[in-house]
A = this chain, B = another copy of it.
Amino acid sequence: MNVQIISIGNELLIGDTVNTNAAWMGQFMTELGFEVHKVLTISDNLDDIKSTISSAMSESDVVLCTGGLGPTHDDMTKKAVADLLGVGMRLDQKVLDYIQALFEKRSLPFSKSNYEQAEVPENCEVLFNKMGTSPGMWFNQSGKFLAVMPGVPYEMQYLMKKQVLPRLQEAFKGVGALYSRYIKTAGVGESTLSDEVLGDMSAMLMNGVSLAFLPLPGGVTLRLNGHGNSVEDAKESVSNLADFIYRKAGNYIIGEGKELTLSEVLGNILRQKQLTIATAESCTGGLIADKLTDIPGSSDYMLGGIVSYSNQVKVNQLGVLRSDLERVGAVSKEVALQMAKGVAQNLDADIGISTTGVAGPGGGTKEKPVGTVWIGYWSKGEHFAVKARLTKDRLLNKERSMRIALEIVRRSLLGITEMPYNLEKQLP
């Protein structure tokens, strides 16, 4: 069963409003087992609305349309649909009573345009909207279905759940279910993961099972989709693929869930092992501490950190040797090692993690170009540093250094010896 979404409104085209409605409806319909194959955003123009809905009805089984139902002159959707279907308007008494009562309760004057909100195309079924004053509309055109709803997100969501869903279930009995599983990885690039770690998976990608690589900022997320007659069937259909991925990419997998973050995963490991952590940050400037403390309850394991932007702070607060700063410079293995150890000892933490690098855009040299970053790790049992060569972009360098640092801690705590992105562990 395929679905098309039409979003109407100039504010969407000119970018004043981001189209979150389409994403919400896309997810809602996908989870019901429908296939959303197109989303269209168009202006509040009568002819555009007519021609767009018309082609959508010919291409798709279900058309979901939002926006352009308000009381002002630029709201054209209702007229466009009536014109397109060649029907007149009728007054819906139930809607009129409801709107009038609402205006009375709020002591607002009732105008002609409010009266018109209770008018709907003759052949529609009203989707009664108790979250607002614009009714939704449902049309059955020879077994194809059109739902027209207001663009206000909570009104649309209410109508989808309470009015559209039961009508879809009635119209499409026995529609199958879709299930999505999100497996998150860290410290491995998209192409390495795809070509070298996982390799050919075509034998498992059939019968509706599909796999997508989503390169999100936190690392590559694998989305496994399966279809089935029930949610249980759909779940079961991806289990072989998931097992395969775990077997091949186990060390890179930090957990499952669309919203899961590396700092949350790391926090759970630290809490479970009853270990504490402290940060010593130069080039990341506080970003690692910030991400660690985004997690509720992080005070259980996060003691604090030192942002040592100046060399003097590195010496005074972290015990970095001034002679090393002069001899090899702040961006060096020696200084990264001393920072990690220094912050763990000064803050009395089990683990210290440090960063020192050339974030850019200035400050690069031939030996240490912009993007050169040293990350240090210290715990009772281990002390090492890794060197990464990142980008020319300052914010990206901060972000990636932070991700690598957190992933180094995760791997070290779990006894995984391979470092993220195959970086080399360098001992003191």
Contact = CB atoms under 8 A, between A and B. Distances in A.
A215 B304 contact: no
Main secondary structure of the interface of A (DSSP, over half): mixed
Interface string A41-64: 111000010000000000000000
Contacts of A25: 15
Nearest to A423: B107
Contacts of A421: 106, 108
Given A279-B307, A296-B360, A299-B309, A72 B16 contact: no
Contacts of A391: 131
A375 to B, nearest CB: 14
A303 B313 contact: yes
A351 to B, nearest CB: 14
A307 B304 CA distance: 5
Contacts of A109: 192, 196
Interface residues of A, number: 109
B30 A37 contact: no
Interface of A: 10-20, 22-28, 30, 36-43, 48, 70-74, 105-109, 111-114, 130-131, 152, 154, 180, 189-192, 194-196, 212-215, 223, 258, 279, 281, 284-290, 292-294, 296-299, 302-310, 312-313, 316-317, 346-348, 359-362, 388-396, 398, 421-423
8 contacts: A17-B214, A106-B421, A109-B192, A281-B289, A293-B309, A293-B359, A302-B309, A306-B306
Given A131-B391, A285-B290, A293-B307, 17 more contacts: A15-B30, A16-B258, A17-B23, A39-B42, A108-B192, A152-B215, A281-B289, A285-B293, A286-B305, A289-B309, A294-B395, A294-B398, A296-B361, A306-B317, A307-B307, A312-B348, A316-B347
